Amino acid sequence: MHVRTLADAATSVSADALVVPVFTGGTLDGAAAEIDAVLGGTLAGVLRDGEISGKTGELSLVHAAGQPFNRVLLVGLGERGKFVPSALNKYAGAAVRYLGKRNAKTIAMALPNEAAVDIARSASFVAEGALAGIVDTTTYRTEPDKPVVTETLLVLESGLDAAAVAAGTARGTIVGEAVNFARLMALTPANDMTPTHLAARAQELAAEAGLDYAMLDEAAMEAKGMGSLLGVSRGSDEPATLSVMTYTGDPSSKELLALVGKGLTFDSGGISIKPAENMHEMKYDMSGGAGVIAALWAIGKLKPKCNVIGVIPSSENLPGPRAMKPGDVLRAMNGKTIEVLNTDAEGRLILADAICYAKELGATRIIDCATLTGACVVALGHAASGTMSNDEHFVTRFLEVVGDVGERYWRLPLYDDYSTQIKSEIADLKNTGGRAGGAETAAAFLKAFVGDTPWIHLDIAGTAYLDGESAHQAKGPTGTPVRAFVAFVEDVAKRGAPAPTNGAAKVEASV
């Protein structure tokens, strides 16, 4: 879908459909009021009759005979006083999904007056949401059911700062495409998305965005001592890969942010095999890796002034004849030994070596993301991603920046108690601390490989994919955490990296 801006008045735009926002309370203003005037009060009548109240995600379609726009779609934005720019993500996505499935090839979209507070961000969210709205899960159907056919989205400037609207739309197009890249990678079944295929996709997107790319194969991992990552891959005939995408936006800086993403292209649980029900969803276990790959592509396109690497360890976890067994001891790249109590706690094993490698490459800060624990889903449901860190300044800055990006993140503690839970009697660590505090003990395991490097762990198990369809997005992969990664990197480019926190104040570990 092509997204562009248009200076025409809403009343004169030529399109298959025109989209206007409404808030709760029944008052029409801006483009909605202008359109209502030329339609003789039709939109006000829709509100008066209670066909739409303005609640978030509500839709009401009006035909506009004799107008250059054939139809008008009213989309609810909720309470006016609670408006935030990211609400336009869902606004645009809902409109595109509704109209695109009803043969609207060209859609014009008006912005609410409230968007003027931050017009560039508002326009960015419109473009991003519209693009996210076109993806469906029917990628392998020979005859897709009601595909979104929209080809062009016209974002109306409506007297707003035209340059800001254009800049926001351009950024949102890149972010929206990146989100879709991540979602489509996750949708791909494991027979077509092996570790080798995931690495090839990373290489392809790196080339498109002008990034450097390198990959470690199993021989190179063996030479590096990555026994933790290789332990997971032993049960599969598919070789593991470790991809590195490098963006150098500020050669004069020594700061290097590493984004590390879990790339388990299929997770059966290994010898500690998962229940058969819903095991097919474990193709999504590479969502963290897909998010890093897509975010690096967007960063390469947006060109912020900072340095970023993406590190993507990838493997399958299968119960083959050489598979790791409960009770096995693995040795990670940093020399730490790990007792494997549960082979289904494998994501942290591949991340451990990837984090060590990111440090070897010079990372001064690390953010990892992974569909890591069911415990995080129990704690936070599908509403937010768990966020844990060893550095107060780093995590506070991150949560501030991503507070309105269309993804939610919630801080969880990382007390020393959790590190105690993962101490092994036979090795340095064990790969699970039991059911209690499962999300936090998984993070404590990763912390053991971070050392003093400022680090954030994102557990996206509950947010990387959703079981149900919404008005603005198809069921399945969400593209989390692409939006957060891009926003944080842009913020670092503008304001510089957060200063590291010293000593005991790093986190609430001593509480």
The candidate with the shortest Cα–Cα distance to 92, out of 54, 45, 44, 59, is: 59
Residues 104 and 253 in one domain: no
Domain limit, last residue, from 179, 196, 220: 179
Q: What percent of the chain has pLDDT over 70?
A: 98
Mean pLDDT, residues 22-43 taken together: 93
pLDDT digits (tens, 9 = 90+) for 442-487: 999 999 999 999 999 999 999 999 988 888 999 999 999 999 999 9
Q: Name the helix (H) or strand (E) containing 33.
A: helix 30-38
Domains contained in the chain, number: 2
Expressed as residue numbers, the domain containing 24 is 2-179
Residues 12 and 151 in one domain: yes
Between the alpha carbon of residue 95 and those of residues 32, 41, 157, 183, 366, the distances in Å are 15, 22, 18, 20, 37
User: How many other CB atoms are there within 10 angstroms of residue 277's CB atom?
Assistant: 7
- Distance, CA of 423 to CA of 187 (rounded, Å): 37
Residues 137 and 7 in one domain: yes
pLDDT of 64 > 60? The answer is yes
Residue, of 138 and 312, whose pLDDT is higher: 312
The candidate with the shortest Cα–Cα distance to 256, out of 311, 310, 307, 312, is: 307
The pLDDT of residue 504 is 40
Residues 152 and 255 in one domain: no
Residues 257 and 365 in one domain: yes
Which residues carry out catalysis? 274, 348
Residues 195 and 175 in one domain: no
Burial of 301 (0-12, 13-18, 19+ CB in 10 A): buried
Domain limit, last residue, from 150, 179, 208: 179
The pLDDT of residue 510 is 36
The pLDDT of residue 143 is 84
- Distance, CA of 41 to CA of 54 (rounded, Å): 17
- Distance, CA of 261 to CA of 367 (rounded, Å): 9
Residues 205 and 324 in one domain: yes
Residues 194 and 153 in one domain: no
Would you give the DSSP letter of residue 218?
H
pLDDT of 175 > 50? The answer is yes
pTM of the model: 0.96
pLDDT level of residue 505 (50, 70, 90 thresholds)? very low
Q: Identify the CATH number of the domain in which residue 320 sits.
A: 3.40.630.10
Burial of 59 (0-12, 13-18, 19+ CB in 10 A): middle
DSSP letter for each residue of 428-464 = SEES---STTHHHHHHHHHHHHHTTS-EEEEE-TTTS
Residues 169 and 198 in one domain: no
Is 243 strand, coil or helix? strand
pLDDT level of residue 158 (50, 70, 90 thresholds)? confident
- Distance, CA of 102 to CA of 91 (rounded, Å): 17
Q: Identify the CATH number of the domain in which residue 100 sits.
A: 3.40.220.10
The pLDDT of residue 506 is 54
pLDDT digits (tens, 9 = 90+) for 314-356: 999 999 999 999 999 999 999 999 999 999 999 999 999 999 9
Residues 76 and 208 in one domain: no
Residues 50 and 150 in one domain: yes
Residues 212 and 165 in one domain: no
Mean pLDDT score of the chain? 95
Beta bridge partners of 312: 243
